[in-house]
Structure 1
Amino acid sequence: MDCVFCAIAAGRLPAHLLHEDEHFLVLLDIYPLRPAHVLVVSREHAPLLTDLSADARDRLLALTARLSQALRWAGYGREGINLLVNDGPASNQHVPHLHLHLIPRRRGDLTGLLWRALTRFLPLGRSVVQARLEREAEQLKNALKLEF
């Protein structure tokens, strides 16, 4: 059976897709730590960063920079954005398929971020989160249409 990201890439599972190209899908995390928590997911099934093709690795940072600009333009992460790759099971990688997190931050959000990290997989408030993801997806799709 495919992993969840392979299933999304193949169109078998839904996602709040913001952008796609030959190497990556960009989507909203369905268990976000902060508003507009974005994932850059490799199209190729590469469990670790070192498993990713050289061409895709070369393009990853450029796409991440473009996404950072779009997030900031849309009002997210103006004070900072965490870029995070959990590379292997001991690093808290839940899905063994390379993906990079962009987590918009603002001053004073650490307590809320830590609480969300502890409770993010609980079913509480999923309908509220789902509605927020839909709004954020439209906003970020529009931001990505801009040239930076």
Structure 2
Amino acid sequence: MDCVFCAIAAGQLPAHQLFEDEHFLVILDIYPLRPAHVLIVSREHAPYLSDLSAAAREHLLTLAERVTRALRGSGYGSEGINLLINDGPAANQHVPHLHLHLIPRRSGDLAGGAWRVLTRFLPLGRQALQARLDAEAGMLRNALKRES
């Protein structure tokens, strides 16, 4: 399958899945900009937001708000969370499949965040990152269950 998110949704590729419903999967970003960087990924292959079904579009912000509560309840993003959709290649969309980033923020994290933007796809420290993602996934799965 050519689309990584379609392959994840089909169970053909692994992911740190936190939640799923009829429209979306909630997973951890494997190249996170900040701890607990979450993606809400459409089950539909929709390259642009305008390609997403009306039902999924209507559900997206409700789910994002639920994930935001779970993040904050787990100690991530209490000072702020970026919600970001890169809608098209010119908008820095690396995978042409609709997904919403939820990136927990804190005051003063801009310099470290800029460094992560520049180095996020390098293989440095992947083993330690994998262990962190495993721990975050367990905590956030439980938090999302509490937010149902």
- Tell me if both proteins adopt one fold, taking TM over 0.5 as the criterion: yes
State the AA in 2 paired with 1:25.
L
State the AA in 1 paired with 2:44.
E
Give the structure 2 partner of residue 38 of structure 1: 38
State the AA in 2 paired with 1:139.
M
Q: Which runs of 5+ in 2 are unaligned?
A: none
Give distance in 2, aligned partners of 1:2 and 1:55.
Answer: 25
What is the deviation of 1:79? Answer: 0.1
Give the structure 1 partner of residue 55 of structure 2: 55
Give distance in 2, aligned partners of 1:9 and 1:40.
Answer: 12
| Deviation readout 1:79-110 (Å, 9 max, x if unpaired) | 00000000000000000000000000000100
Give the structure 2 partner of residue 12 of structure 1: 12
- 3-state SS in 1 of match to 2:146: coil
Aligned CA RMSD, in angstroms, stands at: 0.8
Count of matched residue positions in the alignment of Structure 1 and Structure 2: 148
Give the structure 2 partner of residue 95 of structure 1: 95
Q: How does 1:1-148 map to 2 (within 5 A)?
A: 1-147=1-147
Report percent identity of matched pairs: 76
State the AA in 2 paired with 1:71.
L
**Which ranges of 4 or more aligned residues in structure 1 deviate by more than 4 Å?**
none
Give distance in 1, aligned partners of 2:90 and 2:2.
Answer: 22
State the AA in 1 paired with 2:46.
A
Give distance in 2, aligned partners of 1:67 and 1:33.
Answer: 17
What is the deviation of 1:147? Answer: 3.3
| Deviation readout 1:63-92 (Å, 9 max, x if unpaired) | 000000000000000000000000000000
Give distance in 2, aligned partners of 1:119 and 1:147.
Answer: 33
- 3-state SS in 2 of match to 1:36: coil
